[in-house]
Amino acid sequence: MVWTRRVILKSPQEIAIMREAGRINALALDAVRKAIRPGVTTAELDAIAEEVIRSHGAKPAFKGYPGPYPYPATITVSINDELVHGIPSPKRVLKEGDIVSVDCGTVYQGFIADSAFSMGVGEISPLAQKLLRVTEEALYKGIEKLRPGNRIGDVSWAIQQHVESNGFYVTREYTGHGVGRSMHEFPMVPNYGRPGQGLEIQPGLTVALEPMVLVGTPRTKVKPDGWTVVSADGSLTAHFEHTVAVTPAGPVILTQL
Ligand code: MG
Ligand code: MG
């Protein structure tokens, strides 16, 4: 991945643009959420997201992102054991009982918003329900710690502690990140850490927090397509993400309607 090497604090004007990027991104994810049902293909979901983003004068942020080969789509759709970076395909059909994670990025006036959610397709198992609930709760536990004077380790620890106390695992191999004109800015925001450690959080910091949670072990591997990350043991996974701005008064979620 391509990362900046220092923190780039944003002005209130820049945060306002990121808020608009985040609102458009939320509209795209909302349209995808409403289209998720048994029988829909992940390529159809991708087309829905791209249409919403472009119709608002914005662009998909993931398309062309450097990797094993340029990322080919607007969203990533990761099903069951797939943790992140699943590539949409007309051959991938959602079925009853799946859990699906959708990640989307939007560029608007040069600034990026990045957000993800996971949900069940129709009826899902009690274990899958708990996984979704705990992962989303972990995101909000982390957001709550994004306050001036705290450190990144406080955020990371809040996420890790909630996930592990519920018997699940966080990945060590993929992290949250600063976000702005670049998709991945300093600092990394791991989903594990120690309270009081790491960068001090200041007003103007904009980060994407993204708990990536696994049922069986913390280990992952990459599928032969070069992009899709799956749990090493085939167990279920979930992913929630918001782009958040730190203000003097505390965290503001940019990627909601
Ligand atoms: Mg994302
Ligand atoms: Mg991200």
149: CB partners within 8 A, 6+ apart: 200, 201
Cα separation, 48 vs 212, whole angstroms = 24
- Closest ligand relative to 179 C-alpha: 2
- Closest ligand relative to 62 C-alpha: 1
Q: Which residues, chain by chain, have CB under 5 Å from ion ligand 1? A: 103, 114, 116, 241
- Closest ligand relative to 207 C-alpha: 2
Whether the CB-CB separation of 251 and 112 falls below 8 Å is answered with: no
Ligand 1 centroid distance, CA of 247 (Å) = 22
pLDDT digit string, tens, across residues 91-139? 999 999 999 999 999 999 999 999 999 999 999 999 999 999 999 999 9
pLDDT over 90, % of the chain? 98
CATH topology of domain 3-253: Creatine Amidinohydrolase (3.90.230)
Name the β-bridge partners of 252: 245
Q: Which helix (H) or strand (E) holds 255?
A: none
- Closest ligand relative to 60 C-alpha: 1
Q: In the predicted model, is pLDDT for residue 5 greater than 80?
A: no
Q: In the predicted model, is pLDDT for residue 1 greater than 60?
A: no
- Closest ligand relative to 182 C-alpha: 2
Q: In the predicted model, is pLDDT for residue 178 greater than 70?
A: yes
Cα separation, 213 vs 143, whole angstroms = 16
Ligand 1 centroid distance, CA of 113 (Å) = 8
